[in-house]
């Protein structure tokens, strides 16, 4: 699964762009140029994901794109890795994941902490335990 969320860019009459996320109504930003608006969009999307994870709120799967001004935005790597692991785990208890990874519950929990930088080895092990595989991409 890739976390690319649709962001609707709206050109403002007096210049600049407003960015809205259909999947995150709380995530609103703007920029003077399209590039600046998209940079701010990544930041606000990452912040929204972090807030939802910290408040134990559900993380929506990305919806389908809608409209001419829709762009795809990915959260930063920290928020993205934590959200992907949480989504892949689903209802499986974290203690089961920790046991399968042969690590402590606290170590497994840090993998879903958007403020933590896990190692590739940890991410790969967690992915395998969850029946997934880790795939990296530079875009």
For residue range 108-123, list pLDDT tens digits in order: 999 999 999 999 999 9
Residues 63 and 90 in one domain: no
Residue 134 lies in a domain: no
For residue range 18-43, list pLDDT tens digits in order: 999 999 999 999 999 999 999 999 99
**C-alpha triplet 8, 65, 38: angle, nearest 5°:** 35
Residues 111 and 60 in one domain: no
Evaluate whether 49 touches 14 at the Cβ level (below 8 Å): no
Question: pTM of the entire structure?
Answer: 0.88
Residues 15 and 47 in one domain: yes
Of the candidates 3, 11, 17, 18, which has an alpha carbon nearest to the alpha carbon of residue 53? 3
**What are the φ and ψ backbone dihedral angles of 31, each rounded to 5 degrees?**
-165, 155
Q: How many domains are there within the chain?
A: 2
What domain range includes position 98? 77-129
Residue 137 lies in a domain: no
Determine the pLDDT at residue 136: 87
d(CA 92, CA 101): 14
């Amino acid at each position: 699964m890739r976390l690319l969320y649709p962001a609707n860019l709206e050109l403002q009459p007096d210049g600049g762009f407003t960015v809205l996320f259909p999947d995150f109504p709380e995530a609103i930003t703007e920029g003077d140029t399209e590039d600046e608006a998209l940079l701010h969009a990544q930041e606000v999307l990452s912040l929204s994901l972090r807030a939802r994870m910290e408040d134990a709120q559900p993380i929506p799967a990305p919806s389908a794109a809608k409209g001419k001004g829709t762009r795809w935005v990915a959260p930063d790597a920290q928020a993205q890795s934590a959200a992907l692991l949480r989504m892949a785990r689903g209802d499986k208890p974290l203690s089961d994941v920790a046991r399968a990874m042969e690590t402590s519950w606290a170590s497994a929990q840090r993998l879903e902490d958007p403020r933590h930088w896990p190692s590739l080895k940890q991410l790969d092990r967690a992915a395998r335990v969850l029946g997934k595989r880790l795939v990296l991409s530079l875009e």
